[in-house]
Amino acid sequence: MESSLKAINDPLLDKEERLLSLYNWEKTMTTHKNFYGNKEINNHIHTIYSFSPYTPAMAALKAFNSGLEAAGSVDHDSISAAQEMLEACRILGIGGCTGFEVRVSLKTGADDKPSPFANRKINNPDSEGIAYMTVQGIPTNAIPIAADFLKPIIEERLKRTKAMAVTANIILREAGLQEIDFDRDIYNESKYSEDGSITERHLLAAAAKYILQKFGKGASLTTGLKSKFGITIPPKIDSLLADKNNQYFIYDLLGVLKSEFLPKIFIQPGENECIPVNRVTTFAQSIGAIPSYAYLGDVGESPTGDKRAEKFEDDFIEELFEEISRLGFKAVTYMPPRNTLEQLLRVQELCAEWDFMEISGVDINSPRQSFNCPEVLNENFRHLINTTWALIAHERLASVDKRYGLFSADNPLPLNTEEKLAAYASFGKSFNLNNPDESAVKFANEIEKGRFK
């Protein structure tokens, strides 16, 4: 079993080998045959195709072993995890869905005039006028189309990361450390050759390798970070880095570097990388996917340890929701553990006002993070379980025909958004999760017969 688990999470194997290992693991595990999930879900799991310790197959298995009944992959600028994630979820008999996350420019508004958000921090800690969004529920037959759409963005991000590596090497050289070899330390450690993205975290991981080579772990590391890079570490993180047996050590160090080292080398992305928002919303709708705004909210203590306390869109959220509605967004995705109840109840109120679907997911990219999200079992968030099953049904039904997408203008169900979400949630929960495509065809036929009118 140990060798199977290792193979499932081996980024050097191809997807088919990982999935075969997962299939073989599943066949030997008699104890999970009567699997009863905890009803939790997570639609925003990062994989090796952006930056994560998990292959898509292992991400699905981690979700399964945590009792989740549904899981979804969402990588930065990449859809390469999608097919493996869906197949892994099918093997395990849990719901699966896919999407990608991109940063977009809001410097121009829906009316092609200068946007009121051009000089504001929206939901991106690094840039004004640039926002994170997701494209969720991508039909399986549109995955190659999405990959082609993302390629130029991935390429632009690669160029900018290379330029940041030049600056990083100046700092490392002045500190007496070995310099980063981009091809060896970053490109070869990524999945760029498989249309994965190279992110700032790849660059920081390369820097971390040589920082550790120079200073080692423990007190010598924290002293070196302060004396050579001017990085003062918060007491909580300092105690983690002082622990030489800390199994998540490298990820804790990356959190520090993202917060304190990255600003020294950061280069603002241009509009070839963070393309105008309406290009992405229009593309998402053209393939039958769901363009979703990613709510961040004013940050107190970051759940991932790599974001400073800072104010974002809460002060102008009413104005923002009006604008994203005009821009073609159909959903808002948020993370129940990240914000206060007051913040999220306000988001829910605005979603109802603007007829947005609500999508939940916690962006897992570190082994320190739990796959569980018990907050969705709270009465204030339990509806996010239903919207997840609606998302799963949407993705599979839109794969049969785009007309069956939740927000398709040609959807044959004469229902409003709330009613449609309830119907699709019912579909998703009724799917045979070991053969969801067959279930989707069945429900599509029933819709055409008018059964659900």
DSSP string, 232-263: PPPHHHHHHHH-TT-TTHHHHHHHHHHHHTHH
Q: Enter the tokens of residue 301.
A: 């203590």
Q: Cα–Cα distance between 53 and 49 in angstroms, integer?
A: 10
> Where along the chain do its domains lie?
151-265, 378-453
Residue 223's Cβ-count burial label (10 Å; 0-12, 13-18, 19+) is exposed
The pLDDT value recorded for residue 235 is 86
Residue 405 phi, psi (nearest 5): -65, 145
Cα–Cα nearest to 19, from 81, 82, 91: 91
Residue 242: per-residue pLDDT: 84
Edge-to-edge strands, sheet with 41-45: 41-45, 70-76, 95-105, 130-136, 290-294, 331-334, 357-360
Distance from C-alpha of 89 to C-alpha of 114, rounded to nearest angstrom: 43
Residue 158 CA: distances (Å) to CA of 131, 146, 306: 19, 18, 22
Burial 31-63 (b: 16+ CB within 10 A, else e): eeeeeebeebbbbbbbbbbbbbbbbbbbbbbbb
Phi and psi at residue 196, in whole multiples of 5°?
Answer: -85, 165
Q: What is the dihedral of CA 435, 441, 443, 449, to 10 degrees?
A: -160
DSSP 283-295: HHHHTT-EEEEE-
| pLDDT score at 453 | 54
What is the helix, strand, coil percentage profile of the chain, to 5?
50, 10, 40
Average pLDDT, the chain: 93
Non-local CB neighbours of 70 within 8 Å, separated by 6+ positions: 41, 42, 43, 63, 89, 94, 95, 96, 97, 388, 389, 392
Q: CA 407, CA 405: separation in Å to the nearest integer?
A: 6
- Amino acid identity, position 450: G
pLDDT of the residue at 361? 86
CA nearest neighbour of 427 among 69, 95, 52: 95
Residue holding tokens 């998402």? 284
Backbone angles phi, psi at 293, to 5 degrees: -80, 135
Q: Which residues of the chain have pLDDT under 70?
A: 1, 30-36, 300-308, 451-453
Tell me how far apart the alpha carbons of residues 146 and 125 are, in angstroms, rounded to a whole number.
Answer: 26
H helices of 29-138, in order, are 56-65, 82-92
pLDDT computed for residue 38 by the predictor: 82
CB contact set of 354 (below 8 Å; sequence gap of 6+): 321, 322, 324, 325
What pLDDT digit, counting tens, does each position of 375-384 carry?
999 999 999 9
pLDDT confidence of residue 282: 97
Extract the tokens encoding 302: 């970051």
Q: Are 24 and 8 in contact (CB under 8 A)?
A: no
Q: What pTM, to 2 d.p., does this model score?
A: 0.94
Q: Which residue in this structure is represented by tokens 């017969």? A: 449
